[in-house]
Structure 1
Amino acid sequence: MRRQRGFTLIELLVAISIMAVMAVLSWRGLDGMTRAQAQTRQRADEVLTLQAGLDQWTDDLNALMQLPQVNALDWDGRVLRMTRPAPNVSDGMLVVAWSRRDVNGTGQWLRWQSPPLRTRGDLANAWAEATLWAQNPGDEEKKREVAITPLLDWQIFYFRSDAWTNPLSSNGTSMAVNPVALAQGAPNASAPDGVRLVLTLPPGQALSGTLTRDWVRPTLGGNKS
């Protein structure tokens, strides 16, 4: 009878080695694809979050609420505060603040919002609370903040008299809620024709470097910004 020949031990070892190498290469390929997909999703989420923050920034400025003897916008070099209507107009108004602050060792661009305000006393308190939030917030103030994006630095400029100026300079008079002026009925300064936002984004993010966003007062630009 003819004897049937099988695989030798060496042939089996070689085949198993080849299959092991192919399995390792396949695993590395799948792992690389998974990592690339996760990184792509993370980058996309970072871009969408930044875009949502910039859209909210523009929406807050478009909704500036100017009241008699109350200035709607103020930049003190650390925090930009503004007044705007509450989502439900019958609830009154809000104080909104934007600032950069270190959070867990990382600079963050942050937005803060007060509860609905109905009286001038509530407005003055919320205005002061926004300043406190930007400098040394407590747990209550932090509950009303939203982190937008990591941020190295930021700058604000006002457009007045056909030029961009520092709001803290003599050409860009700061517009704050002054309780004394409020009580005396002093006139308030008008909002600037435009606001320029300059963000310095850190490396390692989906977007890095300098980003500039200009806003034009809708009543000045024919609803174009």
Structure 2
Amino acid sequence: MGRTRHAGFTLVELLVALFAMALLAVMSWRGLDGMTRAQEQTQARADDVLTLQVGLAQWAADLDALIQLPQASALDWNGRVLRITRRSSVAPGEGVVVAAWSRRDVEGRGTWLRWESAPATTREQLERAWQQADLWSQNAGPEERRREVAVTPLAEWQIFYFRGGAWSHPLSSDAAAAAPALPASAPALPLAVLPDGVRLVLTLPPGPSITGVLTRDWVRPTLSGGKSS
């Protein structure tokens, strides 16, 4: 009588099968890990782009809401900070606020920042807010930092005014030349003649999300009937 062969796997076959399954598991894990990382990077880029878009929208909104008051500054760039006197969006009809934009190192990284004062209802309050905005851009204390918002990492930025039919630096001598000559009987002008447009040039640092130079132009709505582009 012949010997009966029992069906089953030998030890070698079992080890080969386990090795193949382990190899497939490692390959599958690497594929899933790569997909997860790619999804996280895509989400991070989308978040950065959205944050920058919100910041630029706020920039345009500040300029669109700019308001000129008698014998008060409405727009000023001193090389460190752009200050804007604008209508309050939190409490419309209850005073004005000073919105300020500047660049400062935050935790060792250059950052584009926005600051906004408390609503001002008197000339003294407005002048104080105007001075606070300048102090904030130079040496922000805890009180000033509570009113600031970090927008995006920023390597450097530039501001240009459109006046006299051309773009020029806000601190150039063209500012005086752009002011129209008025007769002696004309009413007093605000402290500074507003430009017809403001150009914002942002240099975004190298990074995994967005980088390069971004230019945004704003035109006074009273001139074109439109808004920034």
Could you state the TM-score of these two structures normalised by the residue count of structure 1? 0.92
What percent identity do the matched residue pairs reach? Answer: 64
Alignment-derived partner of residue 37 in structure 1: 39
Distance verdict in 2 for CA 1:205–1:172, change over 3 Å: farther
In 1: Cα distance, 2:75 partner to 2:148 partner = 19
* 8 Å CA contact retained: 1:80, 1:99: yes
For structure 1, list consecutive stretches of 5 or more residues without a partner in the other structure. Answer: 174-184
Question: What is the root-mean-square deviation of aligned Cα atoms in Å?
Answer: 1.4
1:222 is aligned to 2:225:
yes
Q: 1:163 aligns with which of 161, 166, 171?
A: 166
Alignment-derived partner of residue 59 in structure 1: 61
- Which amino acid in structure 2 is aligned with residue 57 of structure 1? W
Displacement after TM superposition at 1:216 (Å): 0.4
Displacement after TM superposition at 1:206 (Å): 2.2
Alignment-derived partner of residue 178 in structure 1: none
In 2: Cα distance, 1:98 partner to 1:156 partner = 11
Q: Which has the larger radius of gyration?
A: 2
Distance verdict in 2 for CA 1:199–1:68, change over 3 Å: same
Runs of 4+ aligned residues of structure 1 deviating over 4 Å after TM superposition are: none
- Which amino acid in structure 2 is aligned with residue 221 of structure 1? S
In 1: Cα distance, 2:208 partner to 2:102 partner = 20
Q: Summarize deviations over 1:101-151 as a string: whole Å, max 9, x none.
A: 000000000000001111111111111110111111000000000000000
For structure 2, list consecutive stretches of 5 or more residues without a partner in the other structure. Answer: 177-187
* 8 Å CA contact retained: 1:114, 1:144: yes
Displacement after TM superposition at 1:188 (Å): 2.4
Could you state the TM-score of these two structures normalised by the residue count of structure 2? 0.90
Q: 1:203 aligns with which of 203, 206, 209?
A: 206
Alignment-derived partner of residue 150 in structure 1: 153
Q: Summarize deviations over 1:5-44 as a string: whole Å, max 9, x none.
A: 3211111111000000000000000000000000000000
Displacement after TM superposition at 1:208 (Å): 0.8
In 2: Cα distance, 1:114 partner to 1:206 partner = 31
Aligned length, in residue pairs: 214
- Which amino acid in structure 2 is aligned with residue 160 of structure 1? R
* 8 Å CA contact retained: 2:98, 2:129: yes
Alignment-derived partner of residue 69 in structure 1: 71
Alignment-derived partner of residue 104 in structure 1: 107
In 2: Cα distance, 1:8 partner to 1:202 partner = 61
* 8 Å CA contact retained: 1:71, 1:190: no
